[in-house]
C-alpha cells in the first residue's frame, strides 16, 4: 500500500481530532458520574439519612434517596468546571509551540549562540527545515532535564518549535541527535503537533478534578477538628475521582499516540537515510541511568508529545504513550546489534564555533544562451498529481542538497542571519537590484522611510546577498526568521516598511518580490490558533483565479519568443482543467492585498481540497514540460504561505550554479 501523502496525513489528523473529542466526552461523563457519587455520599453523611436495613441492596438504595437536584447541580458544576478549564487551557496555548515550551520551563536557544552543542543542534534543525520546506522552528532546551528526550509543538508547519532536553544534547552523537530531530520533523509535517496541543488543552479539564482534591487535602492540614477531617476526606474523594480522569486521559493519549510514533520513527529513517542514528538514540535511552524520564511539573500533561516514554505508568502495556523501545529499534533497524554499535559509536564533541571554516563564497553561473539565472530550469517529468505528492516529503536526497546549499551561502551572510539586526538587513539585501544606480535608489528609499540604520546594515551585507540567485532566497529567509521573530514589534514593523520601500523604489514589483513580502508579512503576524479548515474549491473560485494568475505570470520567460497571451492562457487552462472549473481569463493586474486575501482564504481549504489546489498550481507552472528556478521558488514561497511545505524542487542542479 502506498504511503499516505502530506494532505492525507492532515486529513487523518482531523479525523483523529474527532476521535479524541468523542473519547473526551465519554471521559467527561465518567468523571461526572464519579463526582455525583462523591456528592451523594457527602449528602448522605451530612444529613445522616437513614436507610432501611432490611432492603436487599441498602447501599444502592441509599443513593436513590438522595434528592435529584443534588445529582443535577453536581453534574452541571462538574461539566462546567471541565469545560472552563479545558477552554482556558486551549486559549492559553493559542500562541502554539512557544507557549508549550515556556510552560515546561524550556529556554530558547539564541540563533547567535556560541555554545558548540547548541550550535550543532541549530545546524541540524536548519538543515532539516530547508530540506523539508518547513520554516525553521525556534529551538528550546530543557536545561534541568537529564533524561534523553525531545518534542515538537505548534499549530502548523510555519509556526512550530523543537525542544530537546539537556540530557539529549550532551549524550547523543550528531547522527543520533539528527535521528531524533528527524522524528520530530515527521510530527511537524504530519500535523501531529496540532493534535498534540489540542490534546493538552482538552485533557486539562478532566485532570483538574484530581488537582482540586490534592488542594483540599493540603488545606485540611492547616485546620483541626471535625471540619478539617471532613475537608480531608472530601479532598481524598475528589483525588480518587481524579484518577478516573487520569485513567481516561492516559487511555486517550495511548490510543492516539502509539502508531504515530512508529510512523515518525520510519519517517526519520527515510529522512536521514541512517537507521542507526535513531536506533542508537533509542539504545542510549535504554541503557542510560535516567532513560527518557521527565521530572518537571507538566510531564504528565505533555507525555504524549515526547520522543520517548516520559513518565512511568502502571499497566504500561495499556497506558504507555510510546511503544516498547526494543520493538521500535527492531522496526527501524532489524539488524541493529547494540554491543557492536556501542563500541564504534562516535562520542567526539562538536568542534568549537570559532573553528568553523571561514567564508568561501559561491561559484557564479554562466547561464545558457545568456539567460538570467531565474530562467534556468530542467525538464519536469512528473504529472501534476505526482508533483503535489512532493509536499511534506522527508527525503534523504533533500538533506544532502540542503547541506550543499547551506555550504554555498557565504559564511558572513550565514553569521548575519543569526543576529536580529543582521537578519533584517539580510532579508532587505536579498531584494536589492543588481544595478548600483537602482540599489542606491532603494537605499535612499529606506532612509526616506526613517530606516537609515537598517539601510546601512543592508548595504554592508548586499555584496554577499548579490552572490545568491533566487533559489537561495527562501533558505536565507528561513534562516533569518527565528532571529527576526524574536525582535520587538517595532523592529518587525520596520522590516515590513523597509521591504515595501525597497520593492517600490524601482517602480516595478516582480512576482518574486511580491511573494517574499507576503511570506514575511504572514510569518510576522501574531500567531493564533488556526481557524477551522474545511472550505472547498468550488466556494473559492475567485481566489483560485487570483493565485492561478500569479503562477501563470511567473511562467513567462524573459527570453520567451512566443505569444505572451497564449502562454498565459495555456497555464490558466491547465490549472482550471485540473480543478474541473470553467476556464477563466488571467487577471492582468494583481495587488498585494488582493493576493494576500486570496491566499489567506485558500489556506482554510480542507486538506484534500488543498491537495487539488497544489496539483492545479503545478499543472499551470509546468504546462510547457519544464520548471525554471524562478517558477520553482515561487511555488515554494506560495506553498510556505499556504502551509504546504515544498522541499527544494531543483535538487538535481548544483547549488553553486544557482548563484546570481
Residue 316 neighbours by CB under 8 Å, 6+ apart: none
Q: Are 270 and 183 in contact (CB under 8 A)?
A: no
Tell me which residue has cell 523597509: 498
Tell me which residue has cell 437536584: 69
- Exposed (0-12), middle (13-18) or buried (19+): which is 258, by Cβ within 10 Å? middle
Could you give the CA distance from residue 372 to residue 1 in angstroms, rounded to a whole number? 43
Which DSSP category does 659 fall into?
B
Residue 483 neighbours by CB under 8 Å, 6+ apart: 111, 112, 417, 418, 419, 420, 422, 423
- Decide if 184 is catalytic: yes
Catalytic choice (184, 261, 300, 543): 184
What is the number of other CB atoms lying within 10 angstroms of the CB of residue 208?
20
Burial string for 219-229 (b: 16+ CB within 10 Å, else e) reads ebeeeeeeeee
Dihedral sign from CA coordinates of 13, 15, 20, 25: positive
What is the number of other CB atoms lying within 10 angstroms of the CB of residue 29?
13
Q: Cell for 492? A: 518587525
Residue 595 neighbours by CB under 8 Å, 6+ apart: 514, 518, 546, 547, 550
- Exposed (0-12), middle (13-18) or buried (19+): which is 396, by Cβ within 10 Å? middle
Closest Cα partner for 602 from 587, 614, 589, 593? Answer: 614
Q: How far apart are the first and last CA of the chain?
A: 43
Dihedral sign from CA coordinates of 512, 518, 524, 529: negative
Q: Are 375 and 629 in contact (CB under 8 A)?
A: yes
Indicate which residues carry an active-site annotation: 184
Amino acid at each position: 500500500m502506498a504511503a499516505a501523502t502530506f494532505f492525507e496525513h492532515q486529513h487523518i489528523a482531523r479525523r483523529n481530532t474527532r476521535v479524541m473529542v468523542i473519547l473526551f466526552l465519554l471521559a467527561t461523563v465518567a468523571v461526572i458520574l464519579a463526582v455525583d457519587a462523591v456528592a451523594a455520599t457527602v449528602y448522605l453523611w451530612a444529613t445522616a439519612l437513614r436507610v432501611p436495613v432490611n432492603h436487599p441492596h441498602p447501599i444502592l438504595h441509599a443513593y436513590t434517596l438522595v434528592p435529584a437536584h443534588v445529582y443535577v447541580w453536581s453534574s452541571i458544576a462538574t461539566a462546567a468546571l471541565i469545560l472552563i478549564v479545558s477552554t482556558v487551557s486551549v486559549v492559553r496555548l493559542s500562541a502554539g509551540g512557544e507557549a508549550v515550551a515556556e510552560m515546561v520551563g524550556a529556554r530558547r536557544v539564541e540563533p547567535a549562540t556560541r555554545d558548540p552543542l547548541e550550535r550543532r543542534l541549530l545546524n541540524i534543525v536548519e538543515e532539516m527545515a530547508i530540506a523539508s520546506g518547513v520554516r525553521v522552528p525556534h529551538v528550546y532546551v530543557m536545561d534541568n532535564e537529564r533524561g534523553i528526550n525531545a518534542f515538537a509543538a505548534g499549530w502548523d508547519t510555519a509556526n512550530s518549535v523543537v525542544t530537546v532536553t539537556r540530557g539529549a544534547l550532551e549524550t547523543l552523537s550528531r547522527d543520533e541527535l539528527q535521528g531524533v530531530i528527524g522524528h520530530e520533523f515527521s510530527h511537524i509535517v504530519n500535523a501531529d503537533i496540532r493534535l498534540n496541543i489540542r490534546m493538552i488543552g482538552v485533557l486539562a479539564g478532566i485532570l483538574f478534578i484530581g488537582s482540586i482534591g490534592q488542594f483540599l487535602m493540603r488545606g485540611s492540614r492547616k485546620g483541626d477538628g471535625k471540619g478539617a477531617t471532613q475537608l480531608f476526606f472530601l479532598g481524598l474523594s475528589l483525588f480518587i475521582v481524579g484518577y478516573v480522569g487520569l485513567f481516561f486521559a492516559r487511555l486517550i493519549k495511548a490510543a492516539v499516540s502509539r502508531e504515530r510514533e512508529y510512523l515518525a520513527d520510519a519517517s526519520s529513517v527515510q529522512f536521514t537515510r541512517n537507521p542507526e542514528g535513531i536506533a542508537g538514540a533509542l539504545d542510549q535511552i535504554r541503557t542510560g541511568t535516567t532513560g527518557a524520564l521527565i521530572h518537571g511539573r507538566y510531564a504528565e500533561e505533555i507525555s504524549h508529545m515526547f520522543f520517548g516514554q516520559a513518565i512511568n505508568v502502571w499497566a504500561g502495556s495499556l497506558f504507555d504513550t510510546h511503544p516498547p523501545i526494543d520493538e521500535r529499534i527492531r522496526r527501524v533497524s532489524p539488524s541493529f546489534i547494540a554491543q557492536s554499535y556501542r563500541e564504534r559509536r562516535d562520542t567526539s564533541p562538536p568542534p568549537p564555533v570559532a573553528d568553523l571554516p571561514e567564508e568561501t563564497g559561491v561559484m557564479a553561473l554562466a547561464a545558457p544562451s545568456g539567460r538570467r539565472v531565474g530562467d534556468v530550469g530542467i525538464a519536469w517529468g512528473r504529472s501534476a498529481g505526482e508533483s503535489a505528492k512532493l509536499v511534506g516529503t522527508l527525503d534523504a536526497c533533500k538533506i544532502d542538497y540542503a547541506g550543499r546549499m547551506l555550504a554555498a551561502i557565504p559564511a558572513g551572510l550565514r553569521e548575519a542571519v543569526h543576529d536580529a539586526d543582521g537578519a533584517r538587513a539580510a532579508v532587505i539585501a536579498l531584494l536589492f537590484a543588481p544595478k548600483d544606480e537602482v540599489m542606491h535608489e532603494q537605499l535612499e528609499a529606506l532612509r526616506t522611510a526613517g530606516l537609515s540604520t537598517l539601510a546601512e546594515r543592508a548595504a554592508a551585507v548586499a555584496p554577499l546577498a548579490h552572490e545568491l540567485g533566487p533559489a537561495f532566497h527562501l533558505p536565507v529567509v528561513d534562516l533569518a526568521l527565528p532571529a527576526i521573530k524574536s525582535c520587538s514589534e517595532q523592529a518587525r514593523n520596520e522590516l515590513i516598511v523597509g521591504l515595501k520601500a525597497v520593492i517600490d523604489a524601482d517602480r516595478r514589483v516582480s512576482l518574486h518580490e511580491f511573494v517574499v513580502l507576503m511570506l514575511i508579512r504572514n510569518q510576522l503576524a501574531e500567531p493564533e490558533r488556526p481557524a477551522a479548515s474545511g472550505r472547498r474549491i468550488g466556494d473559492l473560485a475567485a481566489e483560485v483565479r487570483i493565485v492561478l494568475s500569479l503562477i501563470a505570470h511567473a511562467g513567462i520567460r524573459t527570453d520567451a519568443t512566443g505569444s505572451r497571451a497564449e502562454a498565459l492562457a495555456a497555464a490558466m487552462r491547465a490549472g482550471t482543467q485540473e480543478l474541473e472549473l470553467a476556464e477563466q481569463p488571467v487577471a492582468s493586474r494583481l495587488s498585494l492585498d488582493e493576493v494576500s486575501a486570496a491566499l489567506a482564504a485558500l489556506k482554510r481549504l480542507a486538506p484534500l481540497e488543498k491537495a487539488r489546489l497544489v496539483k492545479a498550481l503545478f499543472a499551470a507552472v509546468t504546462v510547457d514540460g519544464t520548471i525554471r528556478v524562478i517558477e520553482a521558488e515561487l511555488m515554494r514561497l506560495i506553498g510556505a504561505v499556504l502551509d504546504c511545505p515544498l522541499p527544494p524542487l531543483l535538487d538535481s542542479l548544483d547549488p553553486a550554479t544557482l548563484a546570481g
